[in-house]
């Protein structure tokens, strides 16, 4: 298996459901990301994880909860979502940068198309 994989590829859930999105990378990277892609909006970074830190976009509602058990796996736990949360959720990974390096290119998975009914 290569690159970045995401499961499921499609998910339909009601507003009271709880579900999780899974991402796995096979590239030996140390940083992983969750993005939200809504129609006619720029990609929105939700969370970043590296070995030591987590950074989150303060505008992300608490109904989205990330988990990164190791450098290869990333989860996004969803609960009591709203219809406006329907979007394509993309996972990405990259080498871990620091202040003395340049930003590394990110490798993306194919995304999970989420529909909240």
Partner 1 sequence: AQKVTQAQTEISVVEKEDVTLDCVYETRDTTYYLFWYKQPPSGELVFLIRRNSFDEQNEISGRYSWNFQKSTSSFNFTITASQVVDSAVYFCALSDIYSGAGSYQLTFGKGTKLSVIP
Q: Which residues bind partner 1 (CB under 8 A)?
A: 3-4, 30-31, 33, 40-43, 45, 48-55, 88, 90, 92, 94-99, 102-103, 105-111
**Tokens encoding 107:** 């490798």
Tell me whether residue 64 or residue 107 sits nearer to partner 1 (CB atom).
Answer: 107
Q: How far is CA 79 from CA 21, 37, 65, 95, 97, in A?
A: 11, 19, 8, 30, 32
Cβ-Cβ contacts under 8 Å for 69 (sequence gap 6 or more): 75
Tell me whether residue 56 or residue 80 sits nearer to partner 1 (CB atom).
Answer: 56
Tell me whether residue 30 or residue 80 sits nearer to partner 1 (CB atom).
Answer: 30
The distance of closest approach from Cβ of residue 42 to partner 1 in the complex, given in angstroms and rounded to an integer, is 4
The distance of closest approach from Cβ of residue 72 to partner 1 in the complex, given in angstroms and rounded to an integer, is 15
The distance of closest approach from Cβ of residue 30 to partner 1 in the complex, given in angstroms and rounded to an integer, is 6
Which residues pair with residue 77 across a beta bridge? 20, 65
Angle among Cα 71, 111, 68 to the nearest 5 degrees reads 20
The distance of closest approach from Cβ of residue 111 to partner 1 in the complex, given in angstroms and rounded to an integer, is 4
């Amino acid at each position: 298996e290569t690159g970045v994989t995401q499961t499921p590829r499609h998910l339909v859930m009601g507003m009271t459901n709880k579900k999780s999105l899974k991402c796995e990378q096979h590239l030996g990277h140390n940083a992983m990301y969750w993005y939200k892609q809504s129609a006619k909006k720029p990609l929105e970074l939700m969370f970043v994880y590296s070995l030591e830190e987590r950074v989150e976009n303060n505008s992300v509602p608490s109904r989205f909860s990330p988990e990164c058990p190791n450098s290869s796996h990333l989860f996004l736990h969803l609960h009591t979502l709203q219809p406006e949360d329907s979007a394509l959720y993309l996972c990405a990974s990259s080498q871990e940068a620091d202040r003395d390096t340049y930003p590394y290119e990110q490798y993306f998975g194919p995304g999970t198309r989420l529909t909240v009914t």
